[in-house]
Amino acid sequence: MAKDEPWLEQIAWGPDGLVPAIAQDTRSGRVLMVAWMNRESLRLTRETGRAVYWSRSRRRLWHKGEESGHIQRVCAIRLDCDGDVVLLEVEQEGGIACHTGRERCFYRQLDEAGRWIETDPILKDPEAIYGGGR
Amino acid sequence: MAKDEPWLEQIAWGPDGLVPAIAQDTRSGRVLMVAWMNRESLRLTRETGRAVYWSRSRRRLWHKGEESGHIQRVCAIRLDCDGDVVLLEVEQEGGIACHTGRERCFYRQLDEAGRWIETDPILKDPEAIYGGGR
């Protein structure tokens, strides 16, 4: 597979075979989240046009939105100068990227007193997103 | 020090004491770069209002712009839901974040044929930024 896809080999995969991937909303420009990718997840992301990550906790491919429906349509795939970070420009289905029901995972901001303040509202109750059995 | 700064202890530092930090330009909204931070670099970033990273290759604090002059003024410090990625909203001095002399490190984009295409121009020759002796 790798031989047929030299673009994947131009990436400086970490010793664990992973690189971090940033998802940025194309419309708002907001940085939504950071997750991890291996070769297969990035290959599938390109092939399907939807973000596929590698879940380190579950040790399996994670088709973003597979439970929540909050898929990410990928408009562009970018790579940094060192080749070890991927940037996805995405359209976020439902306007919710975070498992807490917020638009983005970066919903906390440090205030002047040195406290992390939650600045973003919960748009949808996680129980309603994932079901109460979770 | 840590006891006086509980906000630092709310971060899920990796086993190496580091977390990735994304720098995003507040004006253009562009994701400029990703680097690493330890407690001291993040503490100094807050204290000085300028981005300070931890250089993994040089194993020392890296005051962004110390050689190039391309400092980053920090407008906001954000944290993600897992507490293991930092997002800096910055004003980029000189409009150049990348050591290649480009605005951002993410200057390559995957095209439909599966090739990484350089989409962003070099704004300033790196030799002019860092001097020929580098």
Q: Is the pLDDT of residue B134 over 50?
A: no
Task: Read off the pLDDT of residues B33-82 as tens digits, 9 standing for 90 and up.
Answer: 999 999 999 999 999 999 999 999 999 999 999 999 999 999 999 999 99
Phi, psi for residue A126 in degrees, rounded to 5: -55, -30
Task: Please report the pLDDT score of residue A49 as a whole number.
Answer: 98
Segments of chain A with pLDDT less than 70: 1-4, 132-134
Residue showing tokens 């899920």: B12
Enumerate domains of chain A plus CATH numbers: 2-95 (3.10.20.810)
Which residues, numbered 35 to 74 in chain B, qualify as contacts with chain A under a Cβ-Cβ cut-off of 8 Å?
A: 46
Q: Give the pLDDT confidence of A9-33 residue by residue, as tens digits.
A: 999 999 999 999 999 999 999 999 9
Test the B interface: residue of A9, A26, A80 with most B CBs within 10 Å = A80
Please state, in angstroms and rounded to a whole number, the distance separating the CA atoms of residues A5 and A13. 14
pLDDT per residue as tens digits for the range B13-32: 999 999 999 999 999 999 99
CB–CB of A106 and B24 under 8 A?
A: no
Q: What is the pLDDT of residue A131?
A: 84
Per CB-CB distance under 8 Å, the chain A contacts of B48 are none
Nearest to A109 among B24, B33, B76 (CB): B76
> How confident is the model over B116-130, as a mean pLDDT?
96
DSSP string, A18-41: -EEEEEEETTT--EEEEEEE-HHH
pLDDT at A132: 64
Q: How far is CA A61 from CA A4, A34, A88, A133, B100, in A?
A: 21, 15, 17, 22, 34
Q: For residue A134, what pLDDT is reported?
A: 45
